[in-house]
């Protein structure tokens, strides 16, 4: 058996799982592992400027590629700085594997320098975590970590590595298979439930499909299209499900929810059968649950049994992988489904879509954000990845942008993390270097992570940051204007910094965009440059994201 | 309808499992009345008994969320009517005189409890039974003055041939 250090055993195990990139930032308690990284020729380590960026970048990498993303930090503050990114990955079920250094085994519990109970901290925000106390267990624990992160409902796994475990010599045994008697995700849907669902679907006159992020995780978009077309059923997505179904498809309604499309929210409310696939009925999607699809029999397909019946009463639950269940459902429906029942419904839906066409062709100065989305739509192709920050920028992007391919729209849905979009763009660009990656940002969000422009410049990661610059924490100020009597408590950001000068200080390119007709040429220059690029688009600070379901309101009663 | 449910969980015998379970309860806002844990016939497994208060919906979520934990192997909802449910309780009762002492010993006898320690001023009683029986005994002892009280929390096992074992 080959002898090697714990650090090398970690890298060797990662490579056997196909890992080529790690996002991280070293420190004292992870020095031995970084020494092995230095000696390794096959793994690219991308040095970030803040650990939160490493976690978000590995998350963006995972979402863009479908493969697990790897991030790394030292103990103590390194670990705590990772946690926002880990929590973000947890809320959006993203397969991230996070490594942290830890003080050496004999020092654990002594409040040693930079010691923190990292596993205790990540316990509620990971699918599972490990502290490696026996060096020889490294390969098996890493095998378990990959299995847990990527199968069933995906999610982050954290591994804590005491310093002396990294440096200790061990026999490297990758062959032994770890046992996890308590971990057996259900993949295939129960045949009886599939039969029941098919019967209900075949009776439906006003069916609607609600596709969530699970459709993207399980790569079920092709099956989703077949399914929807077979039924002639309109398809709406949750915010996390955006890009799971082509938004230029005649049956596409766009997203539902608080800032979803009016047509989608109305259609859900009027449906008689709702087929929800890989979604968790979050409050942002459902509005007031009492009135959510209240006339519909709800069929819920999800790989996580705990999501079924958690927020909404379900008529037919099907636990299983979205792709597999859809395949079985399609087979079953082929035998019994008769077309034609939904014609009147689809006509009505088309009517809704025409009636509630959002306006985007504004010519005003300062620029209306809707116009920016219109220009973006004109350049988005199958090779474009959009990431977003959180707040108004995100909701404008979610509402107005049209994306047609899975993994093309990457955003922080569950945790709502400002400062996610830019690092996620870095991760996405590293995962798919051939793609054009654009972070739709707000000035507030971008300032939380702008230091990693340095990473983009030095590592040659040409992402585009398009700032919708309104000099405020836009979404919070919108709520203050709508629900708090216009008292803008701590939401005005003022005229600092100058984003163009800031970007130039890092050695990246930037320009101001102040007129609507400048947006597209500026975007084209940014794409063509193949360099990190910031577009500071000065937008109307008074503009709200509308329409909107007020908090606690009903989906079919949107304001604006 | 809100009531107490007794859940038995077989879990991997590893450090931190208890923390994962109590953490999950805290984060989801579930109420644990009692939780007990101990070894089983297998070295790899520990057995936990959880008493949880809530309606059917809460119970379902508790079971599902427990099952999601990687180190939880099996969760069973135990029907109190078809199970033996026991708790152990130690009580130190104030018995300053002969009269009090005699009375406490007599009550202990009625409850099939044992006197396990004696001092000039107090008696220590050991009692097992379900929560109702223990509560009743504690109420009786209050009249004398309880100096110290320790309860273990509930443990349970189904009657008859049924056993809770890991899925094969």
Does position A377 have pLDDT exceeding 70, yes or no?
yes
Q: Is B168 on the interface with A (CB under 8 A)?
A: no
pLDDT in tens, A403-431: 999 999 999 999 999 999 999 999 999 99
What CATH number does residue A236 fall under?
A: 3.40.50.1220
Parent domain of A374 = 369-538
Tell me whether residue A310 is in a domain: yes
- Side-chain-side CA neighbours of residue A79 (13 Å): 26
pLDDT over 90 (residue A357): no
Q: Name the nearest CA neighbour of B144 among B102, B114, B111, B89.
A: B102
On whether residue A509 sits in a domain, the answer given is yes
Q: Mind telling me how many Å the CA of B55 is from chain A's nearest CA?
A: 13
Closest CA to A372 of A254, A496, A492, A470: A470
Per-residue pLDDT tens over the stretch B73-131: 999 999 999 999 999 999 999 999 999 999 999 999 999 999 999 999 999 999 999 99
pLDDT in tens, A113-157: 999 999 999 999 999 999 999 999 999 999 999 999 999 999 999
Question: What is d(CA A52, CA A449) in angstroms, rounded to the nearest whole number?
Answer: 8
- Which residues on adjacent β-strands are paired with residue B47? B10, B38
Secondary structure of residue A236 in the 3-state scheme:
strand
B168: pLDDT strictly greater than 70: no
On whether any CB of chain A is under 8 Å from the CB of B166, the answer is: yes
Give the separation between CA A77 and CA A109, rounded to whole angstroms: 16
**Is there a shared CATH topology between the B3-78 domain and the B84-155 domain?**
yes
Q: What is the pLDDT of residues A523-544, one digit of tens each?
A: 999 999 999 999 999 999 999 9
CA closest to B66 among chain A residues: A306
- How far apart are alpha carbons A133 and A410 in whole angstroms? 36
Q: Is A142 helix (H, G, I), strand (E, B) or coil?
A: helix
C-alpha dihedral over A81, A82, A87, A92, to 10 degrees?
130
Q: Is residue A177 in a domain?
A: no
Q: Position of tokens 């507030």?
A: A444
Q: Report the domain count for chain A.
A: 3
Selection from A40, A51, A32 nearest residue A15 by Cα? A40
Please tell me which of the candidates B60, B70, B71 has its beta carbon nearest to residue A309: B60
Is there a single domain that holds both residue A309 and residue A384? Answer: no
Looking at residues A277-296, what average pLDDT do you find?
95
Q: What is the residue extent of each domain of chain B?
A: 3-78, 84-155
Q: Is A560 within the bounds of a domain?
A: no
Residues A197, A312, single domain; the answer is: yes
Q: Is the pLDDT of residue A395 over 70?
A: yes
User: Could you confirm whether domain B3-78 is CATH 2.60.120.200?
Assistant: no
- Average pLDDT, integer, range B23-46: 94
Q: Which of A142, A172, A202 is the last residue of a domain?
A: A172
Residues A327 and A385 in one domain: no
What's the farthest any 2 CA atoms get from each other in chain B? Answer: 59
Task: Report whether CATH 1.10.357.10 matches the domain B84-155.
Answer: no
Measured between CA atoms, how close is B124 to chain A, in angstroms?
37
Task: Give me the half-sphere count of Cα atoms (radius 13 Å) on the Cβ side of residue B44.
Answer: 9
Q: Are A269 and A310 found together in one domain?
A: yes
Gap from B134 CA to chain A (nearest CA, Å): 35
Regarding whether A289 and A397 lie in a shared domain, the answer is: no
Q: From CA A410, how far away is CA A406, in angstroms rounded? A: 10
CATH number of the domain encompassing residue A36:
3.40.50.970
CB contact under 8 A, B61 and A306: yes
């Amino acid at each position: 058996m080959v002898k090697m250090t714990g650090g090398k055993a970690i890298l060797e195990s990662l490579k056997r799982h196909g890992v080529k990139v790690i996002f991280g930032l070293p420190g004292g308690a992870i020095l031995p592992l970084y020494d092995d990284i230095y000696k390794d020729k096959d793994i690219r380590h991308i040095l970030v400027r803040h650990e939160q960026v490493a976690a978000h970048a590995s998350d963006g990498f995972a979402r863009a590629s479908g493969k697990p993303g790897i991030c790394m930090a030292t103990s103590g503050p390194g670990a705590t700085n990772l946690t926002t990114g880990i929590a973000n990955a947890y809320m959006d079920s993203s397969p991230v594997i996070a490594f942290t250094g830890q003080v050496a085994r004999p020092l654990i519990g002594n409040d040693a320098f930079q010691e923190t109970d990292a596993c205790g901290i990540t316990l509620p925000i990971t699918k599972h975590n490990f502290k490696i106390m026996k060096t020889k267990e490294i390969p098996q624990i890493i095998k378990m970590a990959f299995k847990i992160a990527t199968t069933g409902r995906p999610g982050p796994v954290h591994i804590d590595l005491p310093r002396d475990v990294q440096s200790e010599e061990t026999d490297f045994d990758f062959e032994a298979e770890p046992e996890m008697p308590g971990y057996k995700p259900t993949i295939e849907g129960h045949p009886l439930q599939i039969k029941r669902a098919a019967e209900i679907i075949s009776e439906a006159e006003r069916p609607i499909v609600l596709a969530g992020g699970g459709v993207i995780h399980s790569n079920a978009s092709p099956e989703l299209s077949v399914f929807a077309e077979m039924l002639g059923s309109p398809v709406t997505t949750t915010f996390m499900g955006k890009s799971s179904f082509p938004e230029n498809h005649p049956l596409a309604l766009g997203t539902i929810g608080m800032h979803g499309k009016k047509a989608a929210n109305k259609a859900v409310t009027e449906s008689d059968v709702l087929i929800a696939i890989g979604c968790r009925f979050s409050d942002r999607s459902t509005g007031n649950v009492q009135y959510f699809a209240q006339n519909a029999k709800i069929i819920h397909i999800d790989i996580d049994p705990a999501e079924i019946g958690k927020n909404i009463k379900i008529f037919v639950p099907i636990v299983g992988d979205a792709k597999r269940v859809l395949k079985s459902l399609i087979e079953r429906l082929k035998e019994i489904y008769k077309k034609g029942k939904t014609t009147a419904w689809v006509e009505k839906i088309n009517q809704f879509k025409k009636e509630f066409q959002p306006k985007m062709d504004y010519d005003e100065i300062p620029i209306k954000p809707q116009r920016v989305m219109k220009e973006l739509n004109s350049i988005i192709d199958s090779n474009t990845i959009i990431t977003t920050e959180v707040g108004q920028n995100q909701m404008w992007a979610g509402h107005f942008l049209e994306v047609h391919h899975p993994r093309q729209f990457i955003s922080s849905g569950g945790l709502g993390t400002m400062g996610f979009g830019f690092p996620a763009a870095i991760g996405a660009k590293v995962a798919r270097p051939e793609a054009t990656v654009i972070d739709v940002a707000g000035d507030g969000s971008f300032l939380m992570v702008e230091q990693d422009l340095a990473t983009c410049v030095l590592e040659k990661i040409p992402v585009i940051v398009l700032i919708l610059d309104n000099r405020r924490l836009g979404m919070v100020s919108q709520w203050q204007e709508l629900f708090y009597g216009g008292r803008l408590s701590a939401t005005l950001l003022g005229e600092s910094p100058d984003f163009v000068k800031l970007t130039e200080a890092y050695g990246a390119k930037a320009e101001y965009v102040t007129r609507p007709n400048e947006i597209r040429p500026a975007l084209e220059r940014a794409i063509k440059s193949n360099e990190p690029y910031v577009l500071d688009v000065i937008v109307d600070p008074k503009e709200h994201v509308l329409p909107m379901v007020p908090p606690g309101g009903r989906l079919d009663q949107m304001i604006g | 309808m809100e009531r107490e449910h007794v859940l038995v969980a077989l879990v991997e015998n590893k450090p931190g499992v208890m923390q994962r379970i109590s953490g999950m309860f805290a984060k989801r806002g579930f109420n644990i009345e009692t939780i007990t844990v101990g070894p089983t016939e297998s070295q790899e497994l520990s057995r936990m008994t959880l008493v949880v208060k809530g309606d059917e919906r809460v119970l379902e979520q508790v079971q599902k969320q427990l099952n999601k934990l990687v180190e939880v192997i099996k969760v069973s909802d135990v029907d109190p009517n078809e199970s033996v449910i026991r708790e152990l309780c130690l009580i130190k009762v104030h018995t300053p005189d002969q009269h009090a002492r005699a009375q406490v010993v007599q009550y202990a006898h009625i409850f099939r409890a044992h006197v396990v320690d004696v001092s000039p001023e107090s008696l220590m009683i050991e009692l097992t039974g379900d929560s109702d029986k223990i509560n009743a005994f504690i109420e009786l002892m209050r009249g004398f003055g309880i100096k110290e009280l320790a309860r273990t929390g509930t443990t349970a096992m189904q009657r008859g041939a049924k056993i809770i074992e890991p899925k094969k």
